[in-house]
Amino acid sequence: MRRALELAERGPAGGPNPRVGCVLLGPGGEPIAEGWHRGAGTPHAEADALARAPLGAAAGGTAVVTLEPCDHRGRTGPCSVALLDAGVRRVVYAQADPNPLAAGGAERLRAGGVEVVAGLLSDEAAALNERWTAALRLGRPWVTAKWASSLDGRVAAQDGSSRWITGPAARADVHRRRAEHGAIVVGTGTVLADDPALTARDGDALLPAQPRPVVVGLRDVPAEAALHGHPEPVLAVRTRDPHEAVAAIAGTGATSAFLEGGPTLVSAFLAAGLVDEVLVYLAPTLLGGDRLATADLGVRTIAGQRRLAIRDVVRLGDDLLVVARPVEED
C-alpha cells in the first residue's frame, strides 16, 4: 500500500479526479504490475495497472489500491468490473470513495465473490486527497490563501516594491505548493502592478504540474502580460464577487485554488468565508507603512475576530511559514 501511495502522488493534484495508485500482485503475492491515474479522461489506476500486467497474470491475484475501486461509468468504465473481469480474487483499499456518484465498487466486488479488505493506511490516503475530498463536501474548490510579509505585517514597501521580502527557500516552497492546486488566482491589480507569470517553477524550469491562471476583477488584462505565456489558458473572471469567482473556477474542473492576492482580493475571500487554509510566509524584517497583508475583513469588534488554528510552523531558511485554518464554529 505504501508503494501504491507513492504512485498516487505522481498524479495531478487539484483537478476533478482524486490521485490514486494501484499495485497488482499475482496469486503468490509477487508484484506483477503497477499504475496510477494521470488525470481526467485517462485510465484509472486499476485499469492502468491491469493494462501493464502480462495477459492473465492478475487472475487469482490481489489488487492493492489507495481508493475504493469506482463503480461508475464516465469517460472510463467501472474499475470494479475491470477487476472482476481480470479474475482478481482479493482487493485491498485504503480510503472509501467519498463521491456518491462513483462509490459502490466494494459492494459489487463482494457480490462477485472477491475478498475485500478496507482501511489499510486510510489516514495517509485521506491526507493525499484532502482538498479533493473537501471540495466534494463544500460544493466548491478548496481555497488556500497565501501571502508573504514582514514581521510587522507589511507585504510591500511604501513605493509598492515587494521583491523580495522572503528568501529563496520560502519562494521555492511557494512554487511547490502552487503545483499542488488546480488554479492560481490573483486580482487585476496584482497583474497590472507586478506582471506575474503565475507559473510553478523549480529554478528556471517549469514543474510538470501547472495551476491554471485566474484573474479576478473588472479591468482588462494587457495583451503583453507575462501570464499569457503560461502553459495553461488564462481565465479572466470579470467580477469583484468572490462567490462568482469561485463558481467560475469550479467550472474549469479545478477542485483547489491557490489565492495569491493582492490584499484586496485575499481580504474579499476571507470576509466571504471562502478561505480554507492560510499560508503566511514571515520574513525577519520590518517595513512599516500602510501596505498591509489584509484590508477590511468586516471585523468591527474584538468579538468578531476571525480565529485561526495553527496547523504547522516551518522554518525555511531565514523565514517562517505559518500554516493555519479557520476555526470551525460549533
So what's the architecture of 1-132 in CATH?
A: 3-Layer(aba) Sandwich (3.40)
Tell me the C-alpha distance between 232 and 243, whole Å: 23
Task: Extract the C-alpha cell encoding 107.
Answer: 459492494
pLDDT tens readout for residues 61-86: 999 999 999 998 777 789 999 999 99
pLDDT score recorded for residue 322: 97
Pairing between strand 62-67 and 21-25?
A: antiparallel
Residue 77: the pLDDT is 82
pLDDT-derived band of residue 158, with 50, 70 and 90 as boundaries?
confident
The Cα 204–Cα 58 span in angstroms is 43
Q: Render the burial of 164-184: b for 16+ CB within 10 Å, e for the rest.
A: ebbeeebbebbeebbbbbbbb
164 marked ligand binding residue: yes
Q: What mean pLDDT do residues 137-163 have? A: 92
Q: What pLDDT, on a 0 to 100 scale, did the predictor assign at position 329?
A: 63
162 labeled part of a ligand binding site: yes
Mean pLDDT of 122-134: 95
The verdict on whether residue 166 carries a ligand-binding annotation is no
323, 312 contact by CB (below 8 A): yes
Of 34, 46, 68, 277, the catalytic one is: 46
Task: Write the DSSP string, 2-14.
Answer: HHHHHHHTTSPSS
What pLDDT, in 10s, does the model give residues 15-41?
899 999 999 999 999 999 999 999 888
Rg, Å, the chain Cα set: 22
Phi–psi pair at 80, nearest 5 degrees: -60, -45
Of 83, 2, 77, 8, nearest in space to 39 by CA: 8
Residue 323 CA to residue 117 CA, distance in Å, equals 35
46 is catalytic: yes
179 is known to lie in a ligand binding site? no
How many CA atoms, within 13 angstroms, populate the side-chain half-sphere of residue 326? 17
DSSP 8-state code for residue 238: -
What are the C-alpha distances in Å from 35 to residues 9, 43, 48, 136? 11, 9, 5, 25
- Count, residues in the chain: 330
Confidence tier at 141 by pLDDT (50, 70, 90) = very high
Would you call 109 helix, strand, or coil by DSSP?
helix
Q: What is the pLDDT, as a whole number, of residue 101?
A: 86
Q: DSSP string covering 15-40, please?
A: SSS---EEEEE-TTS-EEEEEE--ST
Mean pLDDT, residues 2-12? 96
Q: Count of alpha carbons within 13 Å of 19, Cβ hemisphere only?
A: 23
pLDDT beyond 60 at 88: yes
- Position 83 scores a pLDDT of 97
Tell me the mean pLDDT in the region 203-232: 94
Q: What is the pLDDT of residues 234-250, one digit of tens each?
A: 999 999 999 999 999 99
Tell me the pLDDT band of 111, cut-offs 50, 70 and 90. very high
CA 152 → CA 92, 285, 290, 293, distances in Å?
51, 8, 10, 10
Q: State the cell numbers at 175.
A: 512554487
Of the candidates 289, 247, 50, the residue with the CA atom closest to the CA atom of residue 156: 289
Residue range 140-326 in CATH 3.40.430.10: yes
Cα atoms in the Cβ-side hemisphere of radius 13 Å centred on 269: 28
**Residue spans per domain, the chain:** 1-132, 140-326
Q: pLDDT digits over 159-191, tens only?
A: 888 888 999 999 999 999 999 999 999 999 999
Dist CA 17 CA 15 (whole Å): 6
Q: What is the DSSP letter of 228?
A: G
Cell numbers for 137: 463536501
What's at 89, amino acid-wise? Answer: R
Place of cell 495531478: 12
**Has 126 been labeled as part of a binding site?**
no
218 is in an annotated binding site: no
As a whole number, the mean pLDDT across the chain is 94
Cell of 299: 471585523
